[in-house]
Amino acid sequence: MHVVKASDQFPPSLLSGDNRVRLESWLATQAGASRVTVTEDGRLGGGAISLNLAVTLDIVGGPLAGRHACVLRAEGGGRISASIGKLREFVVLRAAFAAGVMAPEPLIACDDPAVLGHDFYIMRRVEGLGAGHAVTRSEAAQPELARELGRQLGLLHRITPETEGLDRLGDAPDCPAQETLAQYRRWFGDLARRDPVIAWGLRWMEVNAPLPGAVVLCHRDFRTGNYLVKDGALAAILDWEFAGFSDPMEDLGWFCARSWRFRRLDREAGGIADRADFYAGYEETSGRRVDPARVAYWETAAYLRWAAIAVEQGLRHSSDAEPSLELALTGRMLPEIEMDMLRHLRAIGGMAAAGMAPGAVEKVA
């Protein structure tokens, strides 16, 4: 999510004084080094919940000896319902990197509050352009970028709940659609009895819920704005803080949702190209076919998920938990997100008749 700019919120004290000394000492022990020097290179944006700090590590001795441009990603104060926490995020990133996904290389994680007071991890820094408006500014479509993103997502989706090292993520859902629906109901709470658009979205999800199929590791925020592009090519996929096991089509629906097309609503794959380019790349590496009906289902779910997050962000402001103009304005985005959902439902032929085969949103294909 690009809802909260870490740059607005990073506590200036995180690496000041004793914190830096403790971090350097802890890193030296972990890296088997004789000395580690941490230089702060500035705050980075991106990530709704996390605090991102660019750092350079100068490591003397040990297997990691040398100079490393890195990002220190710490748990912030503003964790929301969908977040998985920094240690689980580290585990996900490690699994993705090991599977060959273009994610920043994760180096080390820390759950000792005595070091910085928050859980955090350090990964290698990747340079590139990330902002959605900038990535979608190109006059020409970017089919190769979309195809590469599809390939990367396909690689990620080869990771299953049986993959080693993912125990921390908990059990995989038996039926992702039903579990997601139950989660959304909890998230929306009373709003589902006050806002008929939300009520309709939830009802639509319930009636059209597809039968359980494959369950894989999903990024759950795989979209334009959360990857870096350098010289027109993909450089890295970022923001793994919502990852979890789900229906693989969930990530495809999220990527194609109108909310993340920025300047180019007509380019349905993330504002950069046609769906066909993205889907083709996905099929090259995932070992499965894209199911457009399921993608359409999960695109509806995407609007509801984004709506729930926007509502929660607005409440973080309104409840005085975290007064912030950006959070307040995010809360006011609800009608926009709802309109996108209604346009999507119109485009796929509205509400399927009750009793239709589960998952059969035929008109979208």
Partner 1 sequence: MRANPDARGLLQIAASTFRSDVLPHVAPEARFAALMVANALDIAEREFKGLDAAGHSMLDALALLYGEDADDALSGDELRRRVEALQHRLCIEIAAGDFDQDGQDVLMDSLEAIVEARLGISNPKALGQQ
What's the DSSP call for residue 174?
S
Q: Who contacts 24 (Cβ-Cβ below 8 Å, separation ≥6)?
A: 35, 36, 37, 38
| Minimum separation from the CB atom of position 194 to partner 1 (A) | 6
Does 263 help bind partner 1 (rule: CB under 8 A)?
A: no
Q: Report d(CA 16, CA 157) in Å as an integer.
A: 40
Does 79 help bind partner 1 (rule: CB under 8 A)?
A: no
Closest among 112, 16, 120, 118 to 70, alpha carbons compared: 120
| Minimum separation from the CB atom of position 3 to partner 1 (A) | 12
Q: Who contacts 257 (Cβ-Cβ below 8 Å, separation ≥6)?
A: 223, 299, 302, 303, 306, 340, 344
Q: Report d(CA 283, CA 286) in Å as an integer.
A: 5
Instruction: Kindly tell me which residue out of 65, 69, 315, 351 binds partner 1, with binding defined by CB under 8 A.
Output: 351
Greatest CA separation found in the chain? 68
Does 192 help bind partner 1 (rule: CB under 8 A)?
A: yes
| Minimum separation from the CB atom of position 260 to partner 1 (A) | 14
| Minimum separation from the CB atom of position 9 to partner 1 (A) | 12
With CB under 8 A as the contact rule, which of the stretches 72-80, 112-120, 160-168, 345-353 interacts with partner 1?
345-353
Nearer to partner 1, 70 or 198 (CB): 198
| Minimum separation from the CB atom of position 196 to partner 1 (A) | 4
Nearer to partner 1, 96 or 304 (CB): 304
Question: Are 305 and 198 contacting, i.e. CB atoms less than 8 angstroms apart?
Answer: no
Does 360 help bind partner 1 (rule: CB under 8 A)?
A: no
Does 196 help bind partner 1 (rule: CB under 8 A)?
A: yes
Does 205 help bind partner 1 (rule: CB under 8 A)?
A: no
Q: Report d(CA 246, CA 209) in Å as an integer.
A: 14
Sign of the four-CA dihedral 288, 341, 82, 148: positive
Does 195 help bind partner 1 (rule: CB under 8 A)?
A: yes
Footprint on this chain of partner 1 (rule: CB under 8 A):
5, 8, 192-200, 202-203, 207, 265, 325-326, 328-329, 332-336, 338-339, 342-343, 345-346, 350-351, 353-354
